[in-house]
Amino acid sequence: MTYFDNALLEVLLLGLLSGVAGFVVLLRKRAFFTVALSHATFPGGVIAALLGFSVLAGSAIFALLLIAIMTGLSRVSQQGKQVASGLVLTFGFALGALIQSMNPASPIPVDALLIGSLLSVSTADVLALAVVLVVSLGILLMISRRLVYSSFDPEGYRSSGFKPWLVDAAALTIIAAAVVVAMPAVGAILGVAIIVGPAITARMLVRNVMLIAPVAALFGITAGLAGLYASKAFDIAAGGAVGLAVAVIFAAVALGRQLAIRLKAGKGGDGSH
Amino acid sequence: MNALEIANASFGYGAEAALTGINFELKVGESLALIGPNGSGKSTLLKGILGFAALTEGAIRVLGQSPKKARALCGYLPQANTRDTDVPVTTRQVVTMGLFAELGAFKPLGAKTKIRVEQALFRVGLTEQAGELFSELSGGQQQRAILARALVSDPKLVLLDEPFNGLDQPNRDELLETIKTLRSSGTSVVVSTHDLDLAREVCSHVLLLNKKQIGFGEVNKVLTLDLITETFAGATVELDHHTVTTTDELE
């Protein structure tokens, strides 16, 4: 496969994963957690690159560590999940920058770690993404009923005899795995755009919770393809182009929805006179 | 078998008891009103019956079993502030959630399941709103939808936490009718409320609470001026169309 075939497959799989992971992020209200996690896994990648290991593996190990730290911090009295995410975000990002600055001679691809390098993804990166997609989809199918119920009414969910930790653990696993495998293509900073953006765009359009994931996947694939081909046509950074495409689709849907609401209100007003 | 057997029980969160000295039995088919001021322990007792609040002392049997084991046989209507209306679910989807424990992860919604959901919607008068988004229902309709979710699994014991709060008259009347129908079908009901008239209208028994058990028994024997005054110490309450100012407030 050529580098472009790899990139093409990567954005297609990433688009599908954005439907799965974005749906989970949206229902669990974990957007800030995802931002924090994506930024804070940066030192994991830096350390792995310095030691000559797989950047993906380094990021994955760091993601697990960070989730443990965030879970611990969120249990500290009068703090909560947002504070824990904020702390971990700054800690992780600062640590990555510090380690990188202490090794100026090392060939760490800092830009690639932060904003990705879609046209440089390897077959191994694509395979890792495919495995995470299949596993995440399987987990989502198993927990989708519970995920929706517990997100809608946690107290009612518990009273039905379900244990909240199971859905929490499954949701964290899906989010963390998505953040890690998105890194080679769109980096620590832009990863959150492709994971969260399509889902929040889909949420604006659909009135049925079960349609959010497929519609988000459609937007994710569209943004990925648009970014990739724009990158090729105009010789611009592919990660940035994908991130921008996500934002443009979001803005277009938000604007279209607003116009539709105004038109509907206008028609309703005309009818009443 | 009794619906509830609670002997010298205390309930709380962590090691600290929020409610002490609870001691009563409720037979199957009887209905109980939990009455007391805010913070008196009504919700704590309901959560104790479900096994969410810890039993720090005494004993409790729910439908002859431990609270955790009996949970699947109970229908629970939590207070109105526990729902996330950002999640776009229809009224029908909300009611179906009450069957997820039976259905598991993959079992499809068969014809029988769908009929049960429609019957539950009919019982609470929401057939026409079945396809509407939960977030677009009125507060009273939302309460009734959650009640339908609690009823769809045909529970033996129904627990309602302040179900009448914020309801307008039509929704209040609908809910009252539903509770009366439940009683007549032999389902045991425990309902927490501030409203003494409601307790009289739909319940056979009353439990007066203020961080401890003040009184328990049949409605007419327990809703006396002395016990009400002790229960609502420091507050003003309506009783038999008279406004009663309690002793603490006079002091």
Instruction: Indicate whether A184 pLDDT > 90.
Output: no
Q: For A3-135+175-271, which CATH class?
A: mainly alpha
Say if residue A71's pLDDT is above 80.
no
A161 to B89: CB separation less than 8 angstroms, yes or no: no
CB distance B84–A152 less than 8 Å? yes
Q: Do A143 and B97 touch (CB under 8 A)?
A: no
Average pLDDT over every residue of A127-144: 95
Rounded distance between C-alpha atoms, residue B158 and residue B179, angstroms = 9
Domain boundaries, chain A: 3-135+175-271
The 10s digit of each residue's pLDDT in B191-249 is 998 778 888 888 999 999 999 999 999 988 888 888 888 888 766 665 555 555 554 43
Confidence of residue B26 (pLDDT cuts 50, 70, 90): very high
Query: Of A204, A219, A212, A173, which is closest to residue A14 (Cα–Cα)?
Result: A219
How far apart are alpha carbons A190 and A183 in whole angstroms?
8
Q: Are A34 and A192 in contact (CB under 8 A)?
A: yes
**Cβ atoms of residues A228 and A242 within 8 Å:** yes
Which amino acid is present at A38? S
Write down the mean pLDDT value for chain B.
86
The backbone torsions φ and ψ at residue B66, rounded to the nearest 5 degrees and listed phi first, read -70, 155
Alpha-carbon gap: A260 to the closest alpha carbon of chain B (Å): 19
Using a CB-CB cut-off of 8 Å, the residues of chain A touching B74 are: 159
- Selected residue of B85, B100, B117, B135 to mutate for chain A interface (largest A Cβ count, 10 A): B100
| Closest CA relative to residue B49, chosen from B59, B37, B39 | B59
Does B103 contact A145 at a Cβ distance shorter than 8 Å? Answer: yes
Give the per-residue pLDDT at A118: 84
Statement: residue B105 has pLDDT above 90: no
Nearest by CB: B87 against A27, A142, A160:
A27
Minimal C-alpha gap between A71 and chain B (Å): 20
| Higher per-residue pLDDT: A84 or B133 | B133
Q: How close are the terminal C-alpha atoms of chain A, in Å?
A: 65
- Which chain B residue's Cα is nearest to A204? B88
Among B114, B148, B153, CA closest to B134: B148
Task: Please tell me which of the candidates B52, B100, B133 has its beta carbon nearest to residue A149.
Answer: B100
Q: Cβ–Cβ of A212/B88 closer than 8 Å?
A: yes
Rounded average pLDDT over B6-16: 87
ipTM higher than the 0.95 cut: no
Residue contact B94–A152, C-beta within 8 A: yes
Q: Residue B48 pLDDT more than 90?
A: yes
Work out the average pLDDT over A116-123. 85
CB contact under 8 A, A209 and B133: no
Give the predicted TM-score (pTM) of the model: 0.84
Per-residue pLDDT at A81: 72
